Every structure is written in C-alpha cells, then in structure tokens.
Chain A
Amino acid sequence: MKNKFLIIPGKFALEKVSGCDFLFPLQGFCVGIERTFSLENIPDSSYIYVNRLLDKKGIEDFRKLLPLFSKKVKGIVFEDLGILNILKENGIDVETCFYGTHGVCSSYTANSLLTDVDTVILSNDITKEEIENILEKVTKKVGLFLFGHLPYMYSRRTLLTNYSKHFSLENKKKRILKESVSKKEFFVVEDEFGTMFYDSCVFDGRVLLDKDVSYFVIDLHLENILNIKEFMEDFFALKAYPNTTDGFLYRKTIYRLPPKGGVK
C-alpha cells in the first residue's frame, strides 16, 4: 500500500493494523467525538487529532501539553491554525496536517497552506472530479477523508442541552434529527465544547483508493465496529458496508439561484 491510513478509533480494541495508524482524538481538544485519549494514554509516536476551534483557555491548555510532544506525537491533524503557530514558535517538529473540514476546496488554497504545513486534508464537500483536478496541481501530497460520517456543522452552542432544557426533556448528548422538509437525517453529538452535526449515513469513498495521497482518514468513532482487523480486511476487499453515501463526490453544489421565471 503506497498510502497511509489514519483511523479515528471507535469502541473496538486498538489492535495494530498493517499500513494504518490510529489518529487519536485528543482529550479536551475535540468536539463531537465520544472516545478521546489523553497524551499520557496513547503509544509513543502517535498521530493526534484536534478538531476544536480553540479559545484562549484552549490555547493555554494546549501549551501545557507541549513537553510531551517529542515523545508522544508523530503527527497532528488540526483545524485551528493557532496550533500551527504554537508548534512553530516552540520549534516542535512533528508532521502537521491541516484539516479545515470545509475550507480547502481548491489547489490554490491547498498550496497556500502547504507553504506552512506538511499536508492538508481536502474538504469533504467537493466532487470527485474536483479532487482529481486538485491532486494534479498541489505542490505536496494532500490527504482525503475516505470513510465515516461526514461532519456537516460545528456549533459552539450546546444545542441538544438547550433543546432538552427548553422542553424539559431528558438531556441526551446524542440524537438523530430529521430535517422536516427534505427528511434528511443527521447524527448530532454534543459535549462541553459544542455540537456537531454528522450525516446519518456513512461516507464510503473507497472509489478514491487509487489516488496518491498523504493520508486517507477513516473515521470510525460513530460506528459499532467490534474488531478493527476484520473490518479493515473487509474494507480493503471492498466488501459492501450498510447505509452508505457517496456524499458530494458526484453532486456539484450551486450558489447562485436561477433568475425568477427560470433561465432563458
């Protein structure tokens, strides 16, 4: 396998899978992910994941972890560019991967970022054609989100708690919500750092497996997978997985509405 796979763990035991590394969601620095890990509790030279946008306190807390980085961290996938600044200012040499979720939709943006980071994960709301086009033009290898529930919205608010309080309901931190008109379903997960909306279907991007990338991200944190080795065997054998979607791979979005009365 020429590519590197980063697996965000689910509930399964963390058995080593050939060609893959775990991407450990860092405790206190992730939102909408139930299983997180402290730096002390992950193996040395691991990949860690920070998907929160950090406020002042978040940055202060992050700085406290820096003494452990040289031993514990091989690479970091992050959303907040403040992290990059801290790492550079402190001369910490780890693989840096910016994952802006919705912010890297062109080779131009990717290349701008790649002057400062080792790699970026492309946005998950672009088409396969766009991905292929970008891969041809980037100055360094970039990564792709390959499998898992696509994150669609990140709010700082505790939206599920607010809803429960308002209607005096049991305070659940996970709910399935269905948009009333389109009937589109979302998994919604909340914690103290905010609320994430995910697609209720699993994005299956294995059609992209032949691409030459830095990392493929496989996000299993919402899946009930019991054995990671068996899952990955089936995964690479391209066995079908239930309830999947191809996301935006073949679905181009629009942003200008046609004129009233239709296009002439």
Chain B
Amino acid sequence: MIELLAPAGDLEKLKFALHYGADAVYVGGQNYSLRANAKNFSLEDLKEGVNYAHFLGKRVYVTVNIVFHEEDVFGLEEYLKELDKIGVDAIIVSDLYVVDLAHKLNLSLEVHLSTQASVLNAEAALFYKKRGVKRIVLAREANKSDIKSIKDETGLDLECFVHGAMCTSFSGRCVLSNVVTNRDANRGGCAQVCRFTFDTPEAPCFSMTSKDLNMIEFIEEMIQIGVNSFKVEGRMRGIYYIATVILTYRRLLDKILNHSLTSEEKEYYLKVLNRVANRESTPQFFHRFPSENEQYFLGREEISNQDFLGLVLDYNKDEKKVKIEQRNYFKIGDIVEFFGPNVETFSYKIHKIENDLGENIEVCNHPNMIVYLPMEIPLEKFDIMRVKLFDKDRDL
C-alpha cells in the first residue's frame, strides 16, 4: 500500500486535498491537537469530512498528539469514543496514555504513533508495536538506513514526512516556546522560537531556522525500502498550496509506480514545488547529515506567494463560461494557467472579464469578487487559476 497523506486545516482544505489526489488526510479536532490555534474541526465537521472521504474511498486520521497534562485528560475518553463512532480511520498520538486508552476502550480505529515520539530505531518501534500501535510516523531525522532497518525488523506501517516545514529540534523535544513566550509547544501553542534570532557576543546574530523538507528526489528509494505513507506537512497552509503540492506528489507517485517518470518531469515537479513554497527546501536527513546549507542564518527568509489568482466555482457548458472567485489581482492581457485534478494544465490568455452583473471589466482587483471568463475547455469546481509558472506546458 502506498499512500499520499495530506494535511487539512479545515473542511474546505480536506475536500481540496482529496480531490487533488490525496489518499488520506490528517486533521485536528478542537482539542488535543498540536495546532491549537488553527481553525480545526468540530465533531460535526469531522463527521462530514469522514463521510466525504469515505464516499471517495479515502481515509481520515485525527491528531490527538499533545503531551497530556492532568487537566487535559478530562473528556478524552468520550472524545475518542466519538471519533470511533464517526468512523475516523486512525488517531495519531504521541502520549503513551492515549495509546493505552484507545486499546482499553476497544476502539475500531487504528492507532498511529506521531512523529512527536521521535522514533528513530527499530527497538523503539517494537516497544510501541507491543502496545498496539499499527503505524509509526518516523522522526524527520531518520535516514535511509534507519528507515530500512525499522521496516525490516518490525514490519510496521511506516509514515514519513516528505514535504513541508521542519522543526529544528527533534519534534517533541523542545520547550523553547514555553520558556520565551509561555506558549506550550507540546500542547499546540508553539511560537516557533527556532525561527527567531539570538544575540551572541560575536557580530552576526545566531539563527537556526531550518529550510523546508522536500523529498522529491528520493521518493522512489523510499518506496523501495518500505515506506507506506508519504506525508505532506502543513495544516495551516492554504488551499492553493495544498492543491499544488498534493497534485504534484500524486502525479509523481503515479508515474513512479507505473515506471513512466522521466528526469525531465521530475525536474519540472521540483520547480513547481519550489515555486509554491515560501522557503527553500532540501531532502534534509535522508541521504546525508544536514549541514549549514540546510539552514537559514538571518532569521526568517520567507516569500509571500501570490500565484493563486482564482478558484473555479462552476462551468457553464452552454455559454462556455467559467465562474471564478478572485484570490489575487489579474487583468485583461495576462497569460495564466488552469490546473486541476481532472484537467491537463493549460495556458490561457485573458481577453475578456465579466463581473457578476454581466459587465465587461478590465481588471479583477477585489478579493473574492466573482467574475466570468470565456472558456472552451470544460473546467470543474476545485480547479484553480494561477500565474503562468514556466514557459513550457507540462502535465500538471
């Protein structure tokens, strides 16, 4: 089983992730999740999300991965029972108490061990296997040899992060946020102090911001050594990022699995991923020990991406018009691209824009305004219009 696992910060992102090719999504509930200040899912949202995913033959995992303090345990048992009743496929946990509780309650859902537990070796994995864990999300610090030995010696399902932001520390082994900002990192309040700067007696200030993770170069090897689930980080990311990254990995995985991936295509996918990211990315620990080249040294170096121009809401095949909700400025004469889960990426020159009163306009400059473009190629809800990224059209 090879699974592409996407983050979903809310119901809309869940739908985008699944439509763009994720086999499963991981989400946080209103409590017990490490993104305490994200929108997250109410139980009603979860129910809808699970039904939606199951209808598509896909899976939903819920993070219950905080380190529990005495006061946090209140309500946990009922919550887990409710998740099970809703049909959630797995919970992702780091606290051994939750592992034990899930089994004591005899729940149907699987228990996956969070990367917060920082499993790096087969012996630790076997410890958790004996406690009933079905899958382990490995520490991002695990290299190829570590991963292979864990797979060979345990037979467990292995989930590895392949894309997105990295902690500077081992996940779960940091309370800098607690110290500097009083926000508890291991209960979802992390203020990302590892992206702050530090003064030293010597001139240049110290910083340790990690570049992002990007495993596109090594996905094939990861499949060969037995990784089952390829996980993208980013429950706080927007739908454009989710759609672009998930579609890219979907197409990459499919081409690897049917032995049709060319080096040219891989290079193109890498360019697309680099374009959508707000930081540089590298494979980090998989193939060699990361050096100064895998970090930033001058604090945050993040770029705001404004490629996302509009979201397709509907297509009128009689009038051959596409209805679009604006996300960034565009105008007559711009050359843009459309992409989506069921359409080959294509370029398009904007020669006419109608507003929702049917009037022709020159520019589309109001956030979320509804406009119509003439369109010969049928599009679908969830398709996306973006800035034309590269000169050469490709299958993305």
Contact = CB atoms under 8 A, between A and B. Distances in A.
Interface string B68-89: 1110110000000000000000
Interface string A142-173: 00000000001111110101110111010000
Interface in A64-101: 80-86, 101
Contacts of B96: 109, 112-113
A85 B204 contact: no
A8 interface: no
A53 interface: yes
Contacts of B182: 251, 253-254
Contacts of A81: 123-124, 127-128
18 contacts: A55-B141, A55-B142, A55-B145, A82-B124, A102-B174, A105-B67, A106-B97, A108-B68, A154-B169, A154-B170, A154-B174, A155-B208, A165-B291, A177-B206, A179-B193, A253-B184, A255-B188, A257-B189
Contacts of A162: 208, 291-292, 295
Q: Which 7 A-B pairs have the closest CB atoms?
A: A82-B123, A255-B189, A82-B124, A162-B292, A253-B184, A255-B187, A177-B198
B128 to A, nearest CB: 7
A179 B176 CA distance: 10
Interface in A199-256: 199, 248, 251, 253-256
A43 interface: no
Interface stretch (B5-13, B52-60, B114-122): B114-122
Interface of B: 36-37, 66-70, 72-73, 94-97, 99-100, 118, 120-128, 130, 139, 141-143, 145-146, 149, 168-170, 172-176, 178-184, 186-189, 193-194, 196-206, 208, 210, 285, 290-292, 294-295, 297
Contacts of B199: 177-180
A163 B292 contact: yes
A34 interface: no
Interface centre among B168, B173, B196, B199 (most CB of A within 10 A): B173
A153 B174 contact: yes
B166 to A, nearest CB: 10
A248 to B, nearest CB: 7
Contact of B121 (A80, A166, A254): A80
B70 A130 contact: yes
B187 to A, nearest CB: 4
Contacts of B173: 53, 101-102, 153-154
Nearest to A84: B127
Overall SS of chain A's interface: mixed
A133 interface: yes
A255 B95 CA distance: 17
A186 B172 CA distance: 19
Contacts of A109: 67-68, 95-97
Contacts of A153: 168-169, 173-176, 194
B168 A155 contact: yes
Contacts of B149: 56
Contact of A255 (B36, B172, B194, B292): B36
Contact of B295 (A113, A116, A152, A157): A157
A54 B121 contact: yes
Nearest to A256: B36
A176 B122 CA distance: 36
Contacts of B176: 152-153, 197
Given A184-B179, A254-B189, A177 B200 contact: yes
A131 to B, nearest CB: 10
B126 A85 contact: yes
A97 B36 CA distance: 31
A133 B72 CA distance: 14
Nearest to A168: B204
A86 B123 contact: yes
B79 to A, nearest CB: 14
A107 interface: yes
B184 A159 contact: no
A125 interface: yes
A263 interface: no
A182 B124 CA distance: 37
A158 to B, nearest CB: 8
Interface centre among A82, A157, A166 (most CB of B within 10 A): A157
Given A102-B174, A255-B66, 9 more contacts: A59-B121, A80-B121, A105-B69, A109-B68, A109-B96, A163-B292, A167-B204, A176-B201, A181-B180
A166 B292 contact: yes
Contact of A157 (B94, B125, B127, B168): B168
A184 B186 CA distance: 20
Contact of A181 (B126, B143, B196, B204): B196
Contacts of A251: 182
A103 interface: yes
Given A113-B96, A162-B291, A177-B198, A253 B178 contact: yes
